[in-house]
Amino acid sequence: MCGIIGYIGHQDSVPIVIKGLKRLEYRGYDSAGIATVDSTGVKIVKNEGKVARLEKNVDESTLRGNIGIGHTRWATHGAPSDTNAHPHLDETGKIALVHNGIIENYDSLRKLLEREGVKFETETDTEVLVQLIGRFYHADEMTLAEAVQAALQDVVGTYGIVVISADEPDSLIAARMGSPLVLGIGEEEFFLASDASPIIPHTRNVVYLDDGDLVEINKSNYEVRRIGDNKPVNKVIERIEYNLEEIEKGGFPHYMLKEIHDQVHTITDTMRGRLSLETGTAHLGGIAD
């Protein structure tokens, strides 16, 4: 499995994203990365290996900004490498995206985009999605949310994504289909993560996104709509009453019992989006052969 984290608000996003990625490390991964956006554009630091290595690389950089996205990758398409690590950029370098899941029709979309002259930097299925978003955004003069929505109509597969753009340095777009995403609602700040554990230290008010939801967030507001028909969705804000240790123990009296019961969910989550019953194919990083 792999993890996503996003932040928009008044604080520096970098330490929040790095701390969040550390909380998601238990999910397993092979590379990590972070991107921020401000009035000077999108900046990215990413590498193969641990979040600790990313943290060191970030410390040596000038990465900063009130909007940030982070990712831990478990490679399905393309080797674990610095280049293939997320976030990925569109051709113009203005749009950055993190993605958990698999774009099943990436091959035909990639060929289509290449025929239109798009140059790819990585071997990933994910880059196809960010290039497609970029194409809609720049060619059809859509807003970032509109371009994400349009691109997702063409995509077959599973995704949890968070997207930022240098041209809209005040917004964060996220969407899900098959990969979990939780929205944390703070005081004029918002958090996105693959599960609630990185959000709890900041806020206990959360919205669980459902498959087919797209959320557009700016510094004071958020709106959830359906990817399919753009209709607004009313979401219930839930309050997480457990403390972090209780969440980690999942209501069980001790960790060993929790881990025994966790096996079903862990195996399901690990395989989600990677096994296709329809085509009888599997994408499992490291055991491709």
Q: Which of 35, 42, 67, 102 binds ligand GLU (CB under 6 A)?
A: 102
Q: How far is the CB of 75 from ligand GLU (least distance, A)?
A: 5
CA dihedral 34, 38, 40, 45 (to 10 degrees): -10
Quick one: which segment of 12-20, 121-129, 165-173, 256-264 binds ligand GLU (CB under 6 A)? 121-129
Q: Which of 75, 129, 163, 164 binds ligand GLU (CB under 6 A)?
A: 75
The smaller minimum CB distance to ligand GLU, of residues 124 and 165, is found at 124
The smaller minimum CB distance to ligand GLU, of residues 66 and 124, is found at 124
Q: In three state form, how does the secondary structure of 114-146 look?
A: HHCCCCCCCCCHHHHHHHHHHHHHHHCCCCHHH
Tell me: does residue 46 bind ligand GLU (CB under 6 A): no
Quick one: which segment of 34-42, 94-102, 139-147, 183-191 binds ligand GLU (CB under 6 A)? 94-102
Using an 8 Å Cβ cutoff, are 183 and 222 in contact?
Answer: yes
SS3 state at 6? strand
Of the candidates 3, 2, 9, 5, the residue with the CA atom closest to the CA atom of residue 186 = 9
Q: Which of 101, 180, 184, 198 binds ligand GLU (CB under 6 A)?
A: 101
Q: How far is the CB of 2 from ligand GLU (least distance, A)?
A: 3
Query: Cα separations (Å) of 239 from 10, 52, 204, 206, 224?
Result: 22, 31, 5, 6, 18
Using an 8 Å Cβ cutoff, are 148 and 217 in contact?
Answer: no
The smaller minimum CB distance to ligand GLU, of residues 33 and 184, is found at 33
Q: How far is the CB of 126 from ligand GLU (least distance, A)?
A: 5
Query: Rounded to the nearest 5°, which phi and psi values hold at 116?
Result: -85, 5
Q: Report the 10 Å Cβ neighbour count for 49.
A: 15
Tell me: does residue 89 bind ligand GLU (CB under 6 A): no
Peptide bond into 198 cis (omega under 30): no
Tell me: does residue 202 bind ligand GLU (CB under 6 A): no
Q: Which of 20, 43, 74, 193 binds ligand GLU (CB under 6 A)?
A: 74
Considering only residues 123 to 152 of the shown chain, the ones binding ligand GLU according to CB under 6 A are 124-126
Residues in contact with ligand GLU by CB under 6 A are 2, 73-78, 99-102, 124-126
